[in-house]
Each structure stands twice: as C-alpha cells, then as structure tokens.
Amino acid sequence: MAIEILPLTKADIPAAVECIQKAFADDPYFHWVFNDPSGFNINRNAASLSAHFLYGLSCREPIYVAKSTVPATSDKSTAASVVGVCWWYNPHPLSHPVPWNVWAQDWLLSFRQLFNNIRFGGRGGLNVKRYWLWKERQQETHEKVWTDPRGYYFCNVLAVDSSMRGMGVGRKLVDVVTQRADEDGLPCYLESSKGFPNLVIYEKLGFELVSEIDCVDGGDECKLYCMIRQPIIKA
Ligand SMILES: CC(C)(COP(=O)(O)OP(=O)(O)OC[C@H]1O[C@@H](n2cnc3c(N)ncnc32)[C@H](O)[C@@H]1OP(=O)(O)O)[C@@H](O)C(=O)NCCC(=O)NCCS
C-alpha cells in the first residue's frame, strides 16, 4: 500500500468530510460544541464542512489529502481512498486588511451556510452560543500569542483514519506545509482539544505549547491547547 499526499480537489470533498467526521467523533471540542447528541445531524455537519472546503479551495488555502493506493481486486488498476486530511489557512500579515477575494468568499460561505440552515431546518445540533464563546476566546488568544506580524500558517484540522495512525501519515501531511513555512521563514500555529496523545505528537512535529484556551459554559469546560512551530532556517 502506497501513501500519496495530494492537494484537495472538489472530487475529494465527500471522502475528506467523512475522514474528518470519523476522526473527530471522540474529540472533546466536538462534544462540547455539539453538546446534545440527539440534535446532531451528520448530513448538516457534512454540508457545513463541504462549504468550508469549497471556501478553502476558492481562497487557495493549503489543504491536502493522504490517499492510500491499493491494487484493485479484478484488474491491475489501482483504487485510491482518502485516509487523512490536513487543512491549513495561509498566513495573513496581521496589520493588512482582508484581501477582497477572501472577503467575497467569506460572504459566499455565509450564503451557503444560510442555505444549509434552510435546507436542514437549523444548524444540525451546533450550540451557537458555545461556538461564538470559543471564537471570542480564540480571538483573544491570537492577539496574545500571534506576535509575528507576518502571520502564521494555521493548521485548522489534521485527521488520519484510525486504522492508519502511528504509520507516519500525519507527519507526511504536516510536512508539506511546514516545509513551505520553513522556506518562507514563517511560523505555524494550531489548536487541539485533545491533550493526549496530541501534545506529544505535535511536539514531535516541532510544535511547542504556548497557551491554553478555556471555554466554560454552564459548568461544561473545553480546553484547547495552542501550539506554535518556529521555522527551521537552513544555513
Ligand atoms: C493527530 C493525528 C492526526 C496524528 O496522525 P498519525 O498519522 O497517527 O501521526 P504519525 O504516525 O505521522 O506520527 C507523528 C509523530 O508522532 C508520533 N506518535 C504518533 N502517535 C503517537 C502516540 N499515540 N503517542 C506518542 N507519539 C505518537 C510518531 O511516532 C511520529 O513521530 P516520529 O516521526 O518522530 O516517529 C491522528 O492521531 C488523528 O487523526 N487523531 C484524531 C484527530 C485529531 O485529534 N486531530 C488533531 C486535532 S486538530
């Protein structure tokens, strides 16, 4: 079985969405923000993730999938399946206004989400109050720890299929963008709500814990670990 790391295409979106939904099924942030399992609508959630992927493709964000290529059973051709996703945002200098094309895509994303709300009769179990609470805490933390005015490559999601973990797929997915960050001399940033084993894994990938985000609502707490990787400048 060979693993290939490839830029996400539109055709990959359904498989990438499924990979994320499976990998984050036990994620603490996911359970905090979708805190009523009876209200969770997996199809609404898939529609939202798809809309975000379309946004990422239009904004040319670095989004990669890991594909495992296995020989097909009946002939000598091969079939590829998505076994991992790494979804980043490009760095934006902190003092620069949002570029017009990103601004336009922000609006398009809002319209797509409005359409999804109508189509699915709501947000599919998302606790909107908690979502905005997290966004507020996140913004405060970025203002505190994003000290490099050139901006950060922001790893929004990293997911590897549970059957393929510990085999180097996550490292391959991360390396594509950290190598680019090293060439640009720019730092990388991520947040993870799973402390174990992710903190150790991300330390092995060059990230250091810099802060924690505490989101508390009605006695339910969600902690996110914020990590930064400084660029490795080759002599
Ligand atoms: C986090 C995750 C993407 C890692 O992917 P992976 O393919 O298992 O990672 P790799 O096999 O490439 O391992 C990367 C490094 O961490 C180490 N590692 C992997 N699993 C580990 C574990 N459970 N404990 C300690 N170290 C571990 C590996 O040895 C490797 O280091 P090395 O290259 O120096 O040997 C995967 O566990 C996952 O999808 N988790 C669920 C979703 C999630 O929590 N995503 C992150 C939040 S955004």
pLDDT of residue 80: 76
- Among 26, 49, 178, 201, name the best residue to mutate to test ligand 1's pocket (greatest count of ligand atoms within 8 A of Cβ): 201
pLDDT of residue 200: 98
pLDDT tens for 18-50 read 999 999 999 999 999 999 999 999 999 999 999
Whole-model pTM: value is 0.94
Helix or strand (DSSP H, E) at 52:
helix 42-58
Could you tell me the pLDDT band of residue 95, with boundaries at 50, 70 and 90?
Answer: confident
Cα 144 to Cα 179: distance, rounded to the nearest angstrom: 25
For 115, the token pair is 């359409």
Residue 97's SS3 state is: coil
Q: How many CA atoms lie within 13 A of 125 on its CB side?
A: 17
pLDDT tens for 111-148 read 999 999 999 999 999 999 999 999 999 999 999 999 99
Ligand 1 within 6 A of CB of 22: no
Ligand 1 within 6 A of CB of 160: yes
Residue of minimum CA distance from atom 37 in ligand 1: 165
Average pLDDT of the chain is: 95
Could you tell me the pLDDT band of residue 69, with boundaries at 50, 70 and 90?
Answer: confident
Ligand 1 within 6 A of CB of 175: no
Give me the residue label for tokens 């709300």: 117
Cα 127 to Cα 110: distance, rounded to the nearest angstrom: 17
The dotted CATH code for 2-184 is: 3.40.630
| List of residues 6+ apart from 46 with CB closer than 8 A | 14, 17, 18, 21
pLDDT of residue 110: 97
pLDDT of residue 72: 57
200: how many CB neighbours lie within 10 A of its CB?
A: 10
| 198 Cα nearest atom in ligand 1 | 1
Task: Give 7-13's long-range contacts (Cβ < 8 A, gap of 24+).
Answer: 7/62, 7/63, 7/64, 7/65, 8/53, 8/56, 8/57, 8/63, 8/64, 8/65, 8/85, 8/87, 9/57, 10/54, 10/57, 12/65, 12/82, 13/50, 13/53, 13/54
What spacing in Å lies between the alpha carbon of 166 and ligand 1's midpoint?
6
Residue of minimum CA distance from atom 5 in ligand 1: 170
Sign of torsion over alpha carbons 19, 131, 29, 58? positive
Mean pLDDT of 55-77: 84
Tell me the pairing of strands 188-192 and 153-160: parallel
Q: Is the pLDDT of residue 79 over 70?
A: no
- Tell me which of 231 and 233 has the higher pLDDT: 231
Q: How many CA atoms lie within 13 A of 72 on its CB side?
A: 7
Helix or strand (DSSP H, E) at 198:
helix 198-204
Q: Is residue 113 exposed (0-12), middle (13-18) or buried (19+ Cβ within 10 Å)?
A: middle
Ligand 1 within 6 A of CB of 126: no
Cα 227 to Cα 182: distance, rounded to the nearest angstrom: 16
Cα 104 to Cα 98: distance, rounded to the nearest angstrom: 10
What spacing in Å lies between the alpha carbon of 232 and ligand 1's midpoint?
21
Mean pLDDT of 198-210: 98
Ligand 1 within 6 A of CB of 226: no
Ligand 1 within 6 A of CB of 159: yes
Listed by start position, the domains of the chain span 2-184
